[in-house]
């Protein structure tokens, strides 16, 4: 495992921890899109079906279980926890996220590495992950004033994606037969979606002002 991949996994882990910290200690999910969290729960459930068929490493298995468990529990908290759910910006979080799922499924049926159930689900999870942040970005834009934890959550997610791109470049040049077009293209699309947010985040950080996105 190279340093980019490890750093990518760690920023991904930290992003989830930041979100759980916000929910557990502040008992608030203000500014967090339930739509995006539901999409992530579906992304990890459909991608990690190979937990039952393939063993890669203890690291791999533990990380998969963490991402599955955390994404499902975040959705549970936002929907059912009697205090947390009251802070959910339901009226602002109106992105019709289920409309993203059908095109991703059709694309997965058309473009996959092999036409098997696991491979189609794997491709579906990658296409869906690429666009899963959209409801969150729309919500950020609408809420205008973004608290630090929410900003850091999105920043860490974006860093995780950018580090994975570096990991792919590194692996392409150092490993033989390392070619994953589906992962690369959907991963790059996903990283570009964060670029706009990054721009405003660094502007506000540079000028030492509270992050505000333009309407």
Binding site for other proteins (CB under 8 A): 5, 9, 12, 50, 54, 56-57, 60, 63-64, 67, 113-114, 122, 164, 167, 177-180, 183
Instruction: Please tell me the distance from the alpha carbon of residue 111 to that of residue 124, in angstroms, as a whole number.
Output: 9
Instruction: Please tell me the distance from the alpha carbon of residue 42 to that of residue 45, in angstroms, as a whole number.
Output: 5
Instruction: Please tell me the distance from the alpha carbon of residue 129 to that of residue 127, in angstroms, as a whole number.
Output: 6
CA distances from 179 to 60, 98, 120 (A): 20, 31, 18
Nearer to other proteins by Cβ, of 44 and 201: the residue is: 44
CB of 164 to other proteins, least distance (A): 8
- Cβ contacts of residue 12 below 8 Å, gap of 6+? 67, 156, 157, 160
Q: Rg of the chain over CA atoms, in angstroms?
A: 17
Nearer to other proteins by Cβ, of 63 and 138: the residue is: 63
Going by the DSSP 8-state scheme, the letter that residue 114 receives in this structure is S
CB of 63 to other proteins, least distance (A): 5
CB of 33 to other proteins, least distance (A): 22
List, in sequence order, every residue forming a beta bridge with 212; answer none if it has no partner: 145
Nearer to other proteins by Cβ, of 177 and 208: the residue is: 177
CB of 92 to other proteins, least distance (A): 30
Please report the sign of the dihedral spanned by the C-alpha atoms of residue 94, residue 12, residue 145, residue 27.
positive
Nearer to other proteins by Cβ, of 77 and 164: the residue is: 164
Nearer to other proteins by Cβ, of 88 and 122: the residue is: 122
CB of 72 to other proteins, least distance (A): 16
């Amino acid at each position: 495992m190279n340093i980019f991949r490890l750093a990518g996994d760690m920023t991904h882990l930290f992003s989830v921890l930041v979100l759980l910290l916000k929910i557990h200690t502040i008992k608030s999910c203000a500014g967090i899109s339930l739509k995006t969290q539901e999409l992530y729960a579906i992304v990890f459930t459909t991608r990690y079906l190979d937990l039952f068929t393939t063993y890669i490493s203890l690291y791999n298995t533990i990380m998969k279980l963490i991402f599955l468990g955390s994404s499902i529990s975040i959705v549970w908290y936002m929907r059912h926890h009697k205090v947390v759910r009251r802070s959910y910006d339901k009226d602002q979080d109106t992105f019709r996220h289920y409309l993203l799922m059908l095109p991703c499924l059709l694309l997965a049926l058309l473009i996959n590495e092999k036409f098997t159930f696991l491979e189609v689900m794997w491709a579906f999870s990658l296409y869906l992950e690429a666009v899963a942040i959209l409801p969150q970005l729309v919500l950020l834009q609408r809420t205008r004033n973004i608290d630090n934890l929410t900003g850091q959550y999105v920043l860490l997610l974006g860093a995780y994606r950018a580090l994975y791109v570096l990991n792919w470049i590194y692996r392409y040049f150092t490993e033989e037969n390392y070619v994953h077009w589906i992962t690369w293209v959907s991963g790059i699309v996903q990283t570009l979606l964060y670029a706009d947010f990054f721009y405003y985040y660094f502007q506000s950080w540079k000028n030492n002002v509270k992050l505000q996105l333009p309407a």
